[in-house]
């Protein structure tokens, strides 16, 4: 595929160029002779996004349990609804979530599902997204449930998709014993799989962990932290924990919208984590707690939240925010990408340079503060066009909406 006449965002900045793609990878950036397959005149070509924390099986629960704090929201609304989900409900919720992600320029993800994950792999294969899928296990400090949870971890690792790999996930330190967390990470390490866990999301949680172990979570579970571990949220942490996260090159999935919406109050200390050496990324969390799967919105909110929290207008630069949504996210998932460069996967978003992106005085500031998913014309995953002229081309969008809505009607009460 030859893409002509675009303004391409490379490491050095914006460059007027053509892009040649072969076998899913970028092989040339510059002035290239030949008739183009895709005209990108008056468009920006940027790296696609990677969402490092999601729960796509909850997509049909959007708007369900509004106004409740996290614990009550989980126990009274989300977990009971999840218990009623069967395979077809999970499949259509996941497909709805993946379609929304792709239309918003998200091509890769890390997902945690309470159920067996085979329906997520099926939906991901059909939409063409790439990423890590894991069953989030819990044992509530019960030995019998622990054995069952570890069996689920091993079962999930047997699955494999066209572009997705199986990962390992434990729900959280307040729903899982130390024995389960350590054992699950050991299994992940043997399989070189990405490990995920919700950590330090609420004040109540961190003091519960402190009371149980005598230490806060990132100290207590330091032994499992490494470049193949993603801790989601981390809004309530100490300076000592931040230093430890940096030493271990931990991946932090910052989920600003979900945290603010569920009133968890803790603010992820992005600047300190980055300076310590941790890999900070962005996550949408679920459509049930967000309620959108939109990385443009996450970037802007994350930027504003840091400025407000620190009383510093330049605490995290627009370029750093953009890297959190692209390159850092791909790295956390163990994937190539998040950049436009020779040899890189052709995971691309082609944006119409509308009024809101004119002029380009600072391209990263425009992308973080002015751009929106409404600017997206085309999305490519490994060189394959999945969104063309704002239309999803990998599946029937109307069918997905209809079937997902019908599936939710069957279980919502």
Where are the strands (E) in 219-288, listed by range?
229-233, 251-254, 279-282
pLDDT 10s per residue in the chain (413 long)? 999 999 999 999 999 999 999 999 999 999 999 999 999 999 999 999 999 999 999 999 999 989 988 889 999 999 999 999 999 999 999 999 999 999 999 999 999 999 999 999 999 999 999 999 999 999 999 999 999 999 999 999 999 999 999 999 999 999 999 999 999 999 999 999 999 999 999 999 999 999 999 999 999 999 999 999 999 999 999 999 999 999 999 999 999 999 999 999 889 999 999 999 999 999 999 999 999 999 999 999 999 999 999 999 999 999 999 999 999 999 999 999 999 999 999 999 999 999 999 999 999 999 999 999 999 999 999 999 999 999 999 999 999 999 999 999 999 87
Angle at 240 between CA 239 and CA 242, to 5 degrees: 65
Q: State how far the Cα of 9 lies from the Cα of 49, in Å rounded to an integer.
A: 14
Residue located via tokens 């790296």: 47
- Structure confidence at residue 239 (pLDDT): 97
Question: Which H or E element spans position 29?
Answer: strand 25-30
Contact 170, 136 (CB under 8 A): yes
Q: What is the pLDDT of residue 70?
A: 86
The pLDDT value recorded for residue 114 is 95
Q: So what's the pLDDT on residue 78?
A: 93
Query: 106 has which bridge partners?
Result: 49
Q: What is the DSSP string of 76-131?
A: IIIHHHHHT--HHHHHHHHHHHHHHHHHTTEEEEEEEESS-SHHHHHHHHHHT-EE
Phi-psi region of 140 (alpha: psi -120 to 50; beta: other; left: phi over 0): left
Q: What angle do CA 276, 285, 353 make, to 5 degrees?
A: 85
- What pTM does this model have? 0.97
Domains and CATH numbers, the chain: 2-47+338-392 (2.30.40.10), 49-332 (3.20.20.140)
Residue 322 CB partners (closer than 8 Å, separation 6+): 299, 364, 367, 368
């Amino acid at each position: 595929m030859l893409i002509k006449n675009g303004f391409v965002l490379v490491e050095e900045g914006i460059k007027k160029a053509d892009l040649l793609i072969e076998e899913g990878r970028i092989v040339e950036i510059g002035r290239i002779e030949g008739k183009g397959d895709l005209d990108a005149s008056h468009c920006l070509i940027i790296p696609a996004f990677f969402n490092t924390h999601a729960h796509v099986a909850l997509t049909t629960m959007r708007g369900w349990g509004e106004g409740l704090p996290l614990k009550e929201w989980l126990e009274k609304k989300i977990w009971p609804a999840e218990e009623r989900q069967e395979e077809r409900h999970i499949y259509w919720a996941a497909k709805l979530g993946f379609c929304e992600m792709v239309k918003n320029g998200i091509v890769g993800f890390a997902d945690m599902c309470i159920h067996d994950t085979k329906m997520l792999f099926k939906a991901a294969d059909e939409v063409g997204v790439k990423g890590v899928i894991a069953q989030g296990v819990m044992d509530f400090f019960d030995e019998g449930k622990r054995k069952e949870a570890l069996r689920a971890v091993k079962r999930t690792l047997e699955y494999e998709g066209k572009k997705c790999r199986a990962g390992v996930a434990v729900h959280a330190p307040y729903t899982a014993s130390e024995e389960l967390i350590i054992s699950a990470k050991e299994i992940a390490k043997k399989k070189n799989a990405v490990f995920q866990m919700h950590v330090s999301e609420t004040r109540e949680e961190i003091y519960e962990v402190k009371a149980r172990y005598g230490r806060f979570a990132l100290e207590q579970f330091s032994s499992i932290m490494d470049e193949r571990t993603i801790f989601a949220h981390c809004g309530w942490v100490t300076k000592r924990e931040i230093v430890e996260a940096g030493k271990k090159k931990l991946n932090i999935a910052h989920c600003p919208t979900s945290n603010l919406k569920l009133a968890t109050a803790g603010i992820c200390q992005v600047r300190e984590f980055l300076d310590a050496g941790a890999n900070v990324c962005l996550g949408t969390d679920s459509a049930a707690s967000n309620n959108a799967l939109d990385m443009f919105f996450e970037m802007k909110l994350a930027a504003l939240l840091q400025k407000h929290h620190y009383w510093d207008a330049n605490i995290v630069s627009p370029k750093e925010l953009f890297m959190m949504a692209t390159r850092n996210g791909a790295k956390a998932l163990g994937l190539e990408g998040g950049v436009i460069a020779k040899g890189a996967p052709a995971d691309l978003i082609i944006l119409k340079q509308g009024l809101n992106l004119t002029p380009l005085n600072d391209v990263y500031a425009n992308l973080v503060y002015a751009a929106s998913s409404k600017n997206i014309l085309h999305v490519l995953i490994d060189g394959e066009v999945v969104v063309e002229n704002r239309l999803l081309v990998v599946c029937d969008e109307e069918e997905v909406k209809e079937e997902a809505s019908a599936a939710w009607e069957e279980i919502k009460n």
